[in-house]
């Protein structure tokens, strides 16, 4: 059985993880391990349920958020820990949005979700936009927008990665519209 410390986090990102987690009080009792990996294909971060807890009840499930140690900008490697703190918080907030989504699913639904994510492009878009939406509803719009702007406005970031962000994730403009709607609904 996989077990990790309740909130296992690498020392170099503890501050950013703490800030991102503070927007998700619903996840306070959920074990989430934040772990650096040498390389994650096509992503900087990846949230997933711990395999051994996949079919357990939601309250007994644990998760991993894998973080690529580095990513490429124009062929050069950059350490993930070297991005601006607010950008890292936004990336982490997005991944915690995935965890929120996963917490709303049964184990079998998660398995089905994973299969669809691997096989269907349209499902990737739905899942990524849902994670962004969770983060925005949790009050992280400013951080999510900073992360998007860091990627989309950085001339040195590979165009293929920018195109992936544009295709699958909420745009800064869509996030602002969502914030307006949330504020309007609260009035």
Residues 157-175 as b/e (b if ≥16 CB within 10 A, e otherwise) read beeebbebbeebbbebeeb
Q: In whole angstroms, what is the distance from residue 60 CA to residue 116 CA?
A: 24
Provide the residue ranges of all domains of the chain, joining segments of one domain with +. 11-186
Pairing assessment for the beta strands 63-68 and 32-37 based on DSSP bridges: parallel
Percentage of residues of the chain with pLDDT beyond 90: 58
Q: Is the pLDDT of residue 6 over 70?
A: no
Taking the complete model, does pTM exceed 0.75, yes or no?
Answer: yes
Distances (CA, A) of 145 to 21, 107, 150, 154, 178: 17, 31, 8, 14, 12
pLDDT at 3: 42
**What tens digit of pLDDT does each residue of 71-107 get?**
766 666 778 888 899 999 999 999 999 999 999 999 8
Q: In whole angstroms, what is the distance from residue 42 CA to residue 83 CA?
A: 18
**What tens digit of pLDDT does each residue of 154-185 get?**
877 778 888 989 999 999 999 999 999 887 77
Q: Is the pLDDT of residue 4 over 70?
A: no
pLDDT at 1: 33
């Amino acid at each position: 059985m996989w077990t990790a410390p309740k909130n296992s986090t690498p020392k170099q990102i503890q501050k950013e993880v703490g800030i991102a987690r503070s927007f998700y009080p619903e996840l306070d009792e959920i074990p989430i391990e934040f772990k650096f990996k040498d390389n994650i294909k096509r992503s900087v971060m990846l949230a997933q349920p711990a395999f051994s807890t996949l079919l357990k009840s939601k309250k007994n499930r644990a998760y991993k958020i894998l973080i690529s140690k580095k990513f490429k900008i124009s062929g050069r490697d950059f350490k993930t820990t070297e991005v601006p703190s607010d950008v890292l918080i936004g990336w982490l907030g997005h991944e915690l949005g995935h965890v929120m989504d996963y917490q709303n699913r049964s184990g079998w639904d998660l398995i089905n979700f994973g299969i669809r994510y691997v096989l269907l492009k349209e499902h990737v878009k739905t899942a990524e936009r849902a994670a962004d939406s969770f983060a925005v509803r949790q009050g992280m719009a400013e951080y999510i927008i900073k992360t998007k702007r860091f990627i989309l406005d950085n001339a040195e970031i590979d165009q293929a990665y920018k195109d992936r962000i544009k295709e699958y994730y909420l745009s800064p403009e869509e996030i602002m519209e969502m914030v307006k709607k949330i504020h309007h609904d609260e009035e």
